[in-house]
Amino acid sequence: MEHGILRPFKTKLVDILASEGKLGDALDTAQALFLALNQKGFHVGMAAHDEPASREQVFFPEKPAMYPRAAKWSPHRPTLVHINGTPIGLTIFEMTVDVEMVYAERGYLPVASLSSRQLARYTGTRHWRVMKPKPSGRLCFQAYCPHHLFKWSKQWRESTPGELQILAPSIAEELEALAPWILAQTQEAQDLHDKKLRRWEEEERERNRLKKEAYRRKLHAESRADLLSAIAAWDEARRVRAFIDAIESELHNSPEAEATPLRERLRLAIELIGTVDPLRVLGAWKSPSERG
């Protein structure tokens, strides 16, 4: 149970929430409301498996609460009436009222149901008082738009038990009158959503285009920088080669006693500097298309 309201284990049920003592009246009220709609030619039943329908949450308190919590139980599929092609969600639930309770030996008891002698007994730090929600015995009929893009709901609340059964024909009339407006509002919300979605898709395509263009420019810049670095390295290698050739030419004409130690130093210099093969440099370079 939740605040005294039954919470079924099954979910493939008509959207009705009530306490054990009020369940019979809730079923009779549902029958009266559904019959009034059926007599006008409108089908009432659970939403089809492939029918997109969002259920409006149920808040039990009869009076507005600052931080109300939605009911934990909800049916597997909403209960809908289709009025000339317009689906409208239907929920019947018992409202709750806050009742002052006092903690006794075995749990909480309503203060209003206790005698003065009992109230005198349940005092002190061991018998604190709190406000707890309890079933009110009065029902609420909630109709709503099940389309997720348009939020609308209306409630008919009983001020006295059994009132909704009497109001069933007039509620059916009101829902029939509201159906064209709900359909128009739903279509308007859908059109606006589709427009926003198309705009977002266009913006996303433009973002992707700009991203790809920036990436292409990045690859082009990297490829160009690598090629210029390779050219610079080759130019440096040519100057080094010219320097080495000049030294070798001088050593060729120098006395052997002087040339021998200098040739060894030249060999060490060549090992330190290394050589640059222009074909290998060009083969290792990657064009922009090869970097993607």
> Tell me, what's the pLDDT at 164?
93
Asked whether residue 6 is domain-assigned, the answer is no
Residues 49, 170 within the same domain? yes
Asked whether residue 189 is domain-assigned, the answer is no
For residue 198, count other CB atoms closer than 10 A to its CB.
10
Asked whether residue 188 is domain-assigned, the answer is no
How far is 36 from 170, CA to CA, in rounded Å? 9
Q: What is the enclosing helix (H) or strand (E) of 182?
A: helix 163-252
Encode pLDDT of 213-230 as tens digits.
999 899 888 888 888 888
Residue 146 to residues 50, 91, 143, 203: CA-CA distances in angstroms?
14, 12, 9, 30
Q: Is the pLDDT of residue 55 over 70?
A: yes
Point out the domain boundary residue: 179, 214, 240. 179
Residues 154, 69 within the same domain? yes
Residues 24, 150 within the same domain? yes
Residues 119, 229 within the same domain? no
Q: What is the enclosing helix (H) or strand (E) of 166?
A: helix 163-252
Residues 25, 157 within the same domain? yes
- Please state the pTM of the whole predicted model: 0.70
Point out the domain boundary residue: 164, 179, 194. 179
Residue 145 to residues 76, 153, 182: CA-CA distances in angstroms?
17, 6, 7
Residues 55, 167 within the same domain? yes
Helix or strand or coil: residue 138?
strand
Which parts of 4-74 are beta strand (E)? 16-17, 43-46
Asked whether residue 156 is domain-assigned, the answer is yes
Q: Is the pLDDT of residue 80 over 90?
A: yes
CB 88 within 8 A of CB 51: no
Instruction: Give the chain's mean pLDDT.
Output: 86
Point out the domain boundary residue: 144, 179, 214. 179
Range of the domain at 238: 204-291
Buried b (16+ CB within 10 A) or exposed e, 95-109: bbbbbebbeeeeebb
Nearest to 90 by CA among 131, 180, 29: 29
Residues 28, 131 within the same domain? yes
Asked whether residue 96 is domain-assigned, the answer is yes
Q: Is the pLDDT of residue 292 over 70?
A: no
Looking at the DSSP assignment, which residues form a beta bridge with residue 153? 144
How many structural domains does the chain have?
2
Asked whether residue 3 is domain-assigned, the answer is no
Residues 216, 117 within the same domain? no
- The encoded tokens of residue 209 equal 């285009």
More confident call, 105 vs 196: 196
Residues 134, 208 within the same domain? no
Residues 54, 143 within the same domain? yes
CB 92 within 8 A of CB 30: yes
Asked whether residue 254 is domain-assigned, the answer is yes
What band does 107 get if pLDDT is binned at 50, 70 and 90?
confident
Residues 235, 174 within the same domain? no
Q: Is the pLDDT of residue 285 over 70?
A: yes
Nearest to 266 by CA among 247, 292, 290: 247
Lowest mean pLDDT, pick from 19-33, 50-64, 246-260, 267-281: 267-281
Residues 140, 255 within the same domain? no
Asked whether residue 8 is domain-assigned, the answer is no
How far is 6 from 3, CA to CA, in rounded Å? 9
